[in-house]
Structure 1
């Protein structure tokens, strides 16, 4: 099989909607994993797929990576964002933390603070399970297994009865015109209730989310008090988004 035929078949497999792995493609085509990685890189360079840790997915905006796939993408940047976010939290505050891989990094840095944390993430609640200083509230709801988030009627009903000093929100897409987005309708609704429950609304997202749109709009950027991202944001996006929301990419002395 020629390289172009191989890449065409890879593209067809990805478009079906399931992620593909380097190992499975190597076995399927009888070529080395390094050859497969070159094929995937060329397809990504042409905007036809999106590479992930160990494979690739479709570039369609409605497609949603698994929690495990998201967790390893831009991990260093997420940890940098988490450091900035955690430094904003003071003892005695009430904090609502959205489910997500960046917010999970924030939670890990909030251990030992004397705060109250509410979350719709079992993973984040587990971070504080043996932390005597952090009072932890796990919101009920329907579990979305792909994102490991509790969402829906029960979650929203609980949020209607609560109010927090700070809300840390996660999202899949940030676009100056369309706003903040996520692929799932139910999750988008729960995120809107989260924003209504907070005094200070803080969006945390690495630079790969900027300029992207997912299916469901959560809110406009002007409804957010602060966007914390990493230094990978380009000057054009920084200027365009900065006209709508305050942006933090490094500690302000």
Structure 2
């Protein structure tokens, strides 16, 4: 069976159910799981589906689909590392910084070399990563932990965040669009991110190029509210120019 035939069958399977697993497809088509993973990668590159940890979901479900931390941890990791390398260099000695929960911001935390830095975070993973760094004071927000994203959110988190004014906030997002703004699937997480942004002098969104033109359910802010977007090199010069025209600097890594 040719790849095109397999991919058409996968598309039909996604029309019947909202998500499918690699092993399920492999068994149905009687091919190896590695073959199916290649098919899913090709289909994602064509915007025909979105890959998840161990499977895929249809693009029609993407507005309120929320990949878990595990889904995202190793996905496009090389892109995230390049973004993190650039972003971490923006953190200077003595800075106060909010690091939003997320896989890209976790990579930033791993690469901070500045001294006497204060980090405020709602991420249990970032807090753990930085806990042994004696050059960084870590303030953990507390709040309710969302199992899927490992982020602390809610009223307690927001109250804690409102006690601080920081130099920079690095914020993650699931969707970035000039028309629809910066978005994420969960309403509660969107609200937490808004509070982070409101208490920072400079707001930097860190998200790889796959997030551009995506629109998730909950609006965090219009793109004009962002100081800078650090992303990967998949976006075009024309797209960069479009964001520059609305006053947002876009850095590609």
Q: Same fold (TM over 0.5)?
A: yes
Deviation at 1:31, TM superposition (A): 3.0
Give the C-alpha shift of residue 9 in structure 1: 5.4
| Cα distance per residue 1:159-199 (max 9 Å; x no partner) | 11111111101110000111100000000001000001111
Instruction: State the partner residue of 1:165.
Output: 167
Q: CA deviation at 1:49?
A: 1.6
Aligned length: 247
Aligned match for 1:243, one of 239, 242, 245: 245
- TM-score where L is the length of structure 1: 0.88
Residues in 2 aligned to 1:45 and 1:77: alpha-carbon distance in whole angstroms: 15
| Aligned match of 2:225 | 223
* Aligned equivalents of 1:128, 1:45: Cα separation in 2: 35
Which is worse superposed, 175-184 or 59-68? Answer: 59-68
Q: TM-score, normalised by structure 2?
A: 0.88
- String of CA shifts for 1:102-129, please: whole Å, max 9, x gaps: 1000000115632111100000000111
**Unmatched 5+ residue regions in structure 2?**
none
Aligned to 1:87: 89
Q: Residue 123 of structure 2 corresponds to which residue in structure 1?
A: 121
Unaligned runs of 5+ in 1: none
| Partner residue in 1 for 2:25 | 25
Structure 1 residues 57-66 or 158-167, which shifts more?
57-66
Residue 236 of structure 1: how far off its partner (Å): 2.4
Shift in Å, 1:38? 5.8
Tell me how far apart the structure 1 counterparts of residues 183 and 44 of structure 2 sit (CA, whole Å): 23
Q: CA deviation at 1:130?
A: 1.2
Match of 1:104 among 103, 106, 125: 106
In structure 2, the residue matched to 1:135 is: 137
Alignment of 1:69-84 (within 5 A): 69-84=71-86
The CA deviation at 1:48 is 3.5
- In structure 2, C-alpha distance between the alignment counterparts of 1:47 and 1:248, rounded to whole Å: 23
- TM-superposed CA distance for 1:40, in Å, is 3.5
Deviation at 1:152, TM superposition (A): 0.6
- CA distance in 2: counterparts of 1:138 and 1:45, whole angstroms: 37
1:58 is aligned to 2:58? yes
Cα-to-partner distance string for 1:46-75 (whole Å, 9 max, x where unaligned): 643223464322322210111111121211
> Residues of 2 paired with 1:249 and 1:32: CA distance?
36
Q: Distance in 2 between matches of 1:41 and 1:84?
A: 27
The structure-2 alpha-carbon separation of the partners of 1:70 and 1:248, relative to structure 1 and needing over 3 Å to count, comes to same
Work out the CA distance in 2 between the residues paired with 1:3 and 1:231.
30
Match of 1:197? Answer: 199
Root mean square deviation, CA, Å: 2.3
Q: Distance in 1 between matches of 2:180 and 2:74?
A: 27
1:39 & 1:169 partners in 2: Cα distance? 32
Aligned partners of 2:51 and 2:65: how far apart in 1?
Answer: 13
Contact 1:171-1:180 within 8 A present in 2 as well: yes
